[in-house]
Amino acid sequence: MKIIKENFETGVVHRYPGDHNPFKYNAWPSLAVGDNGWLYAVASGLRMSHVDHAGKNIMWVSFNEGKTWTPPIVVYDSKIDDRDPGILNLGGGKMLMSWYTDNYEGYLDHMQEQTWLPAGDKAMMKGYSDYWHTLSDEDYNAEKGSYVSLSKDNGVTWGDPVRLNVHSPHGPCRCKDGTLVYMGKRFEPEYAFDNDFVCYTSSDDGATWEFAGTVPPCEDADYGQMYEAHQVELPSGRILGGMRVNGRKDAPADSVYVTYSDDKGKTWSTPKCIGVDGMPPHFMVHSSGAVICSYSCRTWGNITERAVVSYDGGETWEEDYVLNDNINMEKQRDMGYPATVELPDGSLFTIYYQALPEDWHTSILWTKWKLKK
């Protein structure tokens, strides 16, 4: 596989400078292009740390292909942690947001013990942690779950959340016939590593969902450690799916595996490793026909935002682009979850979460790049 590293153009979607606000941590972004040509970025933002009940679904919009962005817009905020939002253009002004909400009681207590955390942030965390400890089991059970929400006006307003039984960070994909395909761990009654790896479909813009099929296990990976999936429809109509495998049997590193379905998610091929150390995948099909899989590598000494490219529908992967390696590994190694869209001139725009070298907290950043072929 050819490694390609250039001085690509980079920038910031959202960063909170300074130490006067504890809600400056942002993570797990996704990206879509609207019918109007605007870029829609979403993330779990305005939070205090990697895990905490302050997490909420945030959206930013760019009207000029990513050069500048609106201030953060809160789309959904439950009592507990809202995480891993995805954004999908359904056409006709319709946008679909996906996410999951869960309870991580006690994590902020743990964060207060971290020596690198600013004292002011520790104090704020304690206050909020004391409040969240007062929530009842009924509060938690009423909120937690996997959801989608539909906007019919280009993201200005959003409908009531619809609960479903599957989740992955970047959400579903839309096929040419309008079918939504969504693969990932079964979220029933909650997210767990030993749950089945499943696929659900919707034919009514996410209002209702039907179980389609199950992705089979493979010999060289622990089925329980296969999660955080994404999928895309290829020009042939085949669905290319991929997932994060956390520590395959022949190596400790995270890996991307791929699987195929030729019947809208009812049956899937046995997943196979594509040969990169990183996770999780986000797929898109370029106008040239190339398939782009964005991912991040967290291997010590090689922590980078990356994208690997296939020119044969995901059978082989020829080029591996290094999109950003400007990371202070001693200060903050929490990063990744890139997602990519194509701009009108054929160039590519990738967003991800990562700390700038001078920060301890993570921001939403971007890289603009082009294919070499």
**Tokens 């200005």 sit at which residue?**
156
Encoded amino acid at 268, one letter: W
Q: Give the pLDDT confidence of 158-186 residue by residue, as tens digits.
A: 999 999 999 999 999 999 999 999 999 99
Task: Look at residue 265 and tell me whether its pLDDT is greater than 70.
Answer: yes
29's tokens: 């972004």
Q: Give the pLDDT confidence of 182-199 residue by residue, as tens digits.
A: 999 998 767 777 889 999
What is the rounded distance in angstroms from the CA atom of residue 58 to the CA atom of residue 61? 10
Lowest mean pLDDT among 45-49, 159-163, 329-333: 329-333
105's tokens: 């009681």
DSSP code string of 211-229 = EEEEPPP-TTS-GGGEEEE
Task: Look at residue 264 and tell me whether its pLDDT is greater than 70.
Answer: yes
Alpha helix locations (H) across the chain? 107-111, 119-132, 137-143
Q: How far is CA 144 from CA 2, 63, 83, 248, 339, in A?
A: 43, 34, 11, 30, 25
Model confidence at 27, pLDDT cuts 50, 70, 90, reads very high
Model confidence at 350, pLDDT cuts 50, 70, 90, reads very high
pLDDT of residue 249: 66
174 within 8 A of 201, measured Cβ to Cβ: no
Q: pLDDT above 90 covers what percent of the chain?
A: 70
**Mean pLDDT, the chain, as a whole number?**
91
Rg of the chain, C-alpha, whole Å: 19
Average pLDDT over residues 35-46: 96
DSSP code string of 136-153 = -HHHHHHH-EEEEEEESS
Average pLDDT over residues 96-108: 82
What is the rounded distance in angstroms from the CA atom of residue 106 to the CA atom of residue 21? 21
Model confidence at 252, pLDDT cuts 50, 70, 90, reads low
Task: Look at residue 201 and tell me whether its pLDDT is greater than 90.
Answer: yes
Lowest mean pLDDT among 85-94, 136-145, 259-268, 289-298: 136-145
Average pLDDT over residues 352-358: 93
DSSP assigned state of 21: -
pLDDT of residue 276: 92
What is the rounded distance in angstroms from the CA atom of residue 136 to the CA atom of residue 125? 19
Encoded amino acid at 99, one letter: W
Neighbours of 118 (CB within 10 A): 12
- Which of these CATH numbers, 2.120.10.10, 3.40.50.1000, 1.10.10.10, 2.30.130.10, describes 2-369? 2.120.10.10
Q: Give the pLDDT confidence of 143-162 residue by residue, as tens digits.
A: 889 999 999 999 999 999 99
What length is written for the chain? Answer: 373
Task: Look at residue 105 and tell me whether its pLDDT is greater than 90.
Answer: no
pLDDT of residue 12: 98
Task: Look at residue 110 and tell me whether its pLDDT is greater than 80.
Answer: no
What is the rounded distance in angstroms from the CA atom of residue 325 to the CA atom of residue 302? 8
pLDDT of residue 21: 77
Q: Give the pLDDT confidence of 62-98 residue by residue, as tens digits.
A: 999 999 999 999 999 998 899 999 999 999 999 999 9
Model confidence at 205, pLDDT cuts 50, 70, 90, reads very high
Encode 277-297: b = buried (16+ Cβ within 10 Å), e = exposed: bbbbbbbbbbeeebbbbbbbb
pTM for this model (two decimals): 0.95
Task: Look at residue 128 and tell me whether its pLDDT is greater than 80.
Answer: no
